[in-house]
Amino acid sequence: MKLTIRGKKKIQGTIKISGSKNSALAIIASSIITNEEVIIRNVPEIDDVLNQIKILEEHGYTIYFQNNILKIKPKKHINYRFVSESISKLRGSYYFMGAMLAKSKKIKIKQIGGCNLGDRPINYHLEALKKLNVKIKEKDDCLYLKTSSLKGNTIKLPFPSVGATINALIASTKAKGITIIENAALEPEVSDVGNFLISMGACIEGLSTKTIKVTGVDYLHYTDYYLASDRIEAGTYLLLASTKDSDKITLENVQPYYLKSLIDVLKEAGSDISIGEHSITIKGNSHLKPLNIEIGPYPAFPTDLGPIISVIATQIEGESTIKETIYKNRTSHINELKKAHANITLSLDTIYIKGKTKLNGTIFQSYDLRQSAAMVLTSILASGTSIIENAEILFRGYEKPIEKLKQLGINITLINE
């Protein structure tokens, strides 16, 4: 699958931001805990979500998914073996560990896939689950997790891992007694999953803080839940319109507060941004000041936007720096940007970008989701026509990107091969 993009077009219009990819994957997995129907609204129709739904269907669940509304019919007993190819394709499948332990007290799960971003240790998840009285064995390419009874405990995470926090949160909803998760991740997706579980009857306190308290309950019930919007998708489109004077876009269905770190960076650089209750409007500015960003866990600047804002830095006069402190391999965009004649280098964990650079259209490769999005932005800002190969990666995390970009006046075509 390829994308062809003709750059240097004026960007203007309004985009409705989709539901959160990262929340959706965890919430779909955790929905299996209840034996009653679950309805989830604002679910993005993206490949990762479709893959997560496929896993449920492989285990006998009846699914209705239309117009971003997902209905999951209950199933009391399901096969504890999660070993299909669908599992290995998607890192978000690891949330089935916490969910199956809460539902059936055991799971056999194939080793997990996802983007290759370097060291993403699943041991944080496993150590957290061990604290809840879970025994774990590894054989061949599978993990075996089993418990006689989930028991509340204090879990102190060595790093505020989003995935480990969510897995511990899901499992502990059915653990006997009280579970305290210390050094918990503060990302909005954690709160979204927690609020979903609360809507089913879970007893959770301290969401959006470093210490979460969960009092185990015996039963979770039916819910009808509205998913939060995707802050990374919103950030991607916000950056797209930031560097040209003629560009102006409005984002709808957003929670601006969760984009504060990006908005602060852009305002400090000189962007004209107006914020509504659930909307953001940005007017482009061709005279932004250089960026100096340190990426870190929320509420710091998000790692997922690092490759994308690197592209924007090529259009800013002077030297910008972006320090990546989470994923050591989040650098696949660097050599691809060099193909477009960007002046970009990496030293240890910091990217240095000197602008202002005239980018030229070329042939790009997609390696991971956010790098793929960065190549789309590069192609839009570049002169001439660009081709992005392996473009199917983009559809893992962005809903209807072709339609949305065309709404903004961008000349983009999808070629299926």
Return the active site residues. 115
In three-state secondary structure terms, 168 is helix
Query: HEC states along 182-243?
Result: ECCCCCHHHHHHHHHHHHCCCEEECCCCCEEEEECCCCCCCEEEECCECHHHHHHHHHHCCC
Q: Which residues of 39-65 are buried (b: 16+ CB within 10 A; e: fewer)?
A: bbebbbbbbbbebbbbbbebbebeeee
Strands 142-146 and 154-156: unpaired
Identity of residue 14: T
Please say whether the beta carbons of 33 and 150 come within 8 A: no
**Residue 263: its H or E element:** helix 260-269
Per the structure block, which two tokens stand in for 339? 């193909």
Q: How far apart are CA 104 and CA 110, in angstroms?
A: 17
Give residue 27's region: left, alpha or beta (phi > 0; psi -120 to 50).
Answer: alpha
Q: Is 280 exposed, middle or buried (0-12, 13-18, 19+ CB in 10 A)?
A: buried
Distances in Å between the Cα of 206 and the Cα atoms of 25, 31, 154, 214, 261 are 22, 21, 14, 9, 22
Q: How far apart are CA 75 and CA 88, in angstroms?
A: 23
Please say whether the beta carbons of 252 and 278 come within 8 A: yes
The 8-class DSSP code of residue 161 comes to -
Identity of residue 19: G
Please say whether the beta carbons of 34 and 271 come within 8 A: no
Q: Which of 24, 79, 31, 30 is nearest to 47 (CA)?
A: 24
Radius of gyration of the chain (CA): 21
The 8-class DSSP code of residue 305 comes to G
Q: How far apart are CA 255 and CA 276, in angstroms?
A: 9
